[in-house]
Chain A
Amino acid sequence: MESFFTRYRNLIVLLTILLVQIVGLAVQVRRTDEGRATYEPKDPPGVRLIRLWGEALVAPPERGIQGTKMAVIGVWRNYLDLVHVREQNQDLQKTIDRLRLEQASLLEDARQGERLQELLDFQHRYIYSTLAAQAIGSSGSDQSRVFYLDKGSNNGLRPDMAVITADGIVGKVRDVFPSTAQVLLVNDQTSGAGVILETTRIRGILTGNASGQLEVVRVSADERIKAGEKVLTAGGDLVFPRGLPVGEVEKVARDPDRDGLIDVIVKPAAHLDRLDEVLVITNTAPRFSPEEQQDLATSEVVMGDDATAIKDQLKASQIMAERLPGLIDPNLPPEQQPLLDTSNPNPVSHPPQALRPDRFTPGNAPGTMPESGDSSKPDGAETPKTVTPTTGTKPKAAGPQTARPRTGAPQAAAPAIAKPEREPQ
């Protein structure tokens, strides 16, 4: 036996190490109900330990390299490369002033929208607080599009937090270590985010392909989707707040696996390949942040008169709405309300019935009454004669076209020019 192990030592070591790794792989993958293989949602303890070792080994040198790089860049930008800074500063100050006014105006609209959403019991979450972080490293593989941040659980980061830049969304926090965090980029093949096309309002799932391109997959073919259309987050994935820029449509490709479906290739708004500083959305809330509320207060001061006028207009419109005829007829029982009548798409309210109907009652105009056999006709009442007018004046209609006869008898075809002989006294 000893000679066997000695002789095949290399092969035994190889097979043992391979076997251990394959068993380890089997622990990390499970089958879904649909029969597809997928990763376990949470790393087993042993796997997490190996990830911790890897992170602990690589993160400190990466942090050092990134720190050195940023220090060199900082010295260059802050102390050496200062040509035209004064002019740029003045331009930026003007831009800030303009944006402040625009922001104040937009916040007023946004707050009004928020009130309406509250009325509709719709909870839209706003970005409440963010944490700036530096990207210090990556996985090193284009099959695993993740990168590492220099902030971790010690800084309040948690899995599934959204990571963005000023340009657009970047990814989500996948795993958190004490001083670093792993971010899964949106262009990874295993990534997914709910998005909506800005103009066509077509929704879809954003993911990455083998080339690292963003694509909205399995969208129904639609000719309205054109290159250049903006793509925004839809807000339904519980990671990204709604309305954040994702990118713009680059082209549309036919889904190779499914007929009638297309994949929309999206050019990312953020520079996913070269990220330095990112923002992690650490908190969202259904209210504005204190800073935004302060801006809102400023906007109300600046736009006080306009806001009062808008409120007055709202009040006036509410009063008008109350005065306008509704779809509820107080004279009809609940089951016959025109609002419930689905046969007529444009229901009209009926005038109340007269207690003592006469020929001037709508629907009882001369010529519209049945000649005989009307049991509802009062005894001894004369049947009015129909007289053809000799004048050329246009007669008025006898009553509303939708008016029903008082009796159950079928209504005779009313002459269009029926007119009483003399006006009622």
Chain B
Amino acid sequence: MSVLGVNFRRDMEIRRYPVLVYALLPLAALVLQAWLPRVVGPYVWFDLPLVVTVYFALGRRNPVQGTIMGASMGLLEDALSHHAIGVNGVAKTVVGFVAASVGVRIDVENHTIRLILNFLLSLLSSAIFVFTYRVLLGLDLEWRWFTELLRAVGNSLIAMVLFPLLDRLQIKES
């Protein structure tokens, strides 16, 4: 239970990063997400803006910031697509809020938990996307859950590698 519970002072710490990291990391995620599909072809089994949203939401442990972060990333993703603005925005808003809320309650330093969280939040994002697109807007959209499953796995693997690297960028309290 010590893994899941917030029993340690360390778990309650709010992570802080240099301003440049806040500015450049989301931008880099958006740019790479837009550019990498041209390299990997049809195998777009990752969602870097989602991974970054989850990382900051878990680290900051602030639902409002997580919500705003998710909304911003989602809206910018929508802006690059030809879909209606807000489809990804709604999905990532909810994901940011949930990630930050979860981060308050459990220990997110553990790699296994990060892996599972990214997997589940990716699926949640896909589910909200489909719900918004097909139910809320009533638009036609073919859907393949297997691809979404692969994307969730891809996001988890990327998070497993990326999160420890990003942890090194945080400001250490002396």
Chain A interface residues toward B at CB < 8 A? 9-10, 13-14, 17-18, 21-22, 24-25, 28-29, 36-39, 47, 50-51, 53-55, 57-58, 61-62, 65-66, 135-144, 146-148, 174-175, 182, 184, 188-190, 209-212, 273-275
Check A24/B85 contact, CB under 8 A, given A14-B63, A140-B34. Answer: yes
Judged by a CB distance under 8 angstroms, whether B7 is at the interface is no
Q: B84 to A274, Cβ gap below 8 A?
A: no
Q: A17 to B68, Cβ gap below 8 A?
A: yes
Q: A274 to B85, Cβ gap below 8 A?
A: no
Judged by a CB distance under 8 angstroms, whether B122 is at the interface is no
Q: B80 to A210, Cβ gap below 8 A?
A: no
Check A38/B38 contact, CB under 8 A, given A21-B89, A54-B79, A57-B27. Answer: no
Q: B79 to A25, Cβ gap below 8 A?
A: no
13 A–B contact pairs at CB < 8 A?
Answer: A10-B64, A10-B67, A17-B71, A25-B85, A25-B90, A25-B132, A37-B137, A58-B31, A61-B31, A138-B37, A139-B77, A210-B141, A275-B38
B89, closest chain A residue (CB): A21
Instruction: Pick the interface stretch among B13-21, B112-120, B142-150, B162-170.
Output: B142-150
Judged by a CB distance under 8 angstroms, whether B136 is at the interface is yes
Give min CB distance, B130 to chain A, whole Å. Answer: 10
Say whether chain A's binding surface is mostly helix, strand, loop, or mixed. mixed
Q: Chain B: how many interface residues by the 8 Å CB criterion?
A: 52
Judged by a CB distance under 8 angstroms, whether B10 is at the interface is no
Q: A210 to B142, Cβ gap below 8 A?
A: yes
Q: How far is the CA of A139 from the CA of B137 in the complex (A)?
A: 20
Q: B142 to A189, Cβ gap below 8 A?
A: yes
Q: How far is the CA of A55 from the CA of B30 in the complex (A)?
A: 11
Check A54/B76 contact, CB under 8 A, given A25-B136, A144-B83. Answer: yes
Specify which of B78, B138, B143 is in contact with A37 (CB 8 Å cutoff): B138
Most central of A14, A138, A147 by chain B CB within 10 Å: A14
Q: A18 to B93, Cβ gap below 8 A?
A: yes
Give min CB distance, B136 to chain A, whole Å. Answer: 7
Q: How far is the CA of A148 from the CA of B83 in the complex (A)?
A: 15
**What chain B residues lie within 8 Å of A61 (beta carbons)?**
27, 31
Check A140/B79 contact, CB under 8 A, given A39-B84, A50-B85. Answer: no
Q: A65 to B35, Cβ gap below 8 A?
A: yes
Q: A58 to B84, Cβ gap below 8 A?
A: no
**What chain A residues lie within 8 Å of B137 (beta carbons)?**
25, 29, 37
A-contact 0/1 string along B91-106, CB 8 Å cutoff: 0011001000100000
B76, closest chain A residue (CB): A54
A-contact 0/1 string along B53-88, CB 8 Å cutoff: 000000000011001100100011111111111111
Q: A135 to B38, Cβ gap below 8 A?
A: yes
Q: How far is the CA of A17 from the CA of B75 in the complex (A)?
A: 11
**What chain B residues lie within 8 Å of A137 (beta carbons)?**
31, 34-35, 38, 80
Give min CB distance, A384 to chain B, whole Å. Answer: 85
B64, closest chain A residue (CB): A13
Give min CB distance, B58 to chain A, whole Å. Answer: 15
Q: A140 to B33, Cβ gap below 8 A?
A: yes
Q: A47 to B97, Cβ gap below 8 A?
A: no
Q: B97 to A147, Cβ gap below 8 A?
A: no
Specify which of A18, A51, A139, A189 is in contact with B141 (CB 8 Å cutoff): A189
Specify which of B82, B93, B147 is in contact with A144 (CB 8 Å cutoff): B82
A-B contact sample (17 more), CB < 8 A, given A18-B94, A58-B31, A140-B37 = A13-B63, A13-B68, A17-B68, A21-B93, A36-B140, A54-B75, A54-B76, A58-B27, A137-B34, A138-B38, A139-B77, A140-B48, A182-B82, A189-B141, A190-B82, A212-B42, A273-B37
**What chain A residues lie within 8 Å of B63 (beta carbons)?**
10, 13-14
Q: A141 to B90, Cβ gap below 8 A?
A: no
Give min CB distance, B32 to chain A, whole Å. Answer: 8
Specify which of B86, B140, B147 is in contact with A24 (CB 8 Å cutoff): B86
**What chain B residues lie within 8 Å of A38 (beta carbons)?**
139
Q: B81 to A53, Cβ gap below 8 A?
A: no
Q: How far is the CA of A286 from the CA of B83 in the complex (A)?
A: 35
Q: How far is the CA of A262 from the CA of B139 in the complex (A)?
A: 23
Check A273/B42 contact, CB under 8 A, given A47-B85, A51-B85. Answer: yes
Q: B38 to A55, Cβ gap below 8 A?
A: no
**What chain B residues lie within 8 Å of A29 (beta carbons)?**
84, 137-139
**What chain A residues lie within 8 Å of B48 (beta carbons)?**
140
Q: B82 to A273, Cβ gap below 8 A?
A: no
Specify which of A17, A25, A58, A143 is in contact with B80 (CB 8 Å cutoff): A58
A136, closest chain B residue (CB): B35
Q: B86 to A22, Cβ gap below 8 A?
A: yes
Specify which of B36, B64, B79, B86 is in contact with A9 (CB 8 Å cutoff): B64
Q: How far is the CA of A273 from the CA of B137 in the complex (A)?
A: 29
B75, closest chain A residue (CB): A50
Q: B147 to A142, Cβ gap below 8 A?
A: yes
Q: How far is the CA of A379 from the CA of B31 in the complex (A)?
A: 109
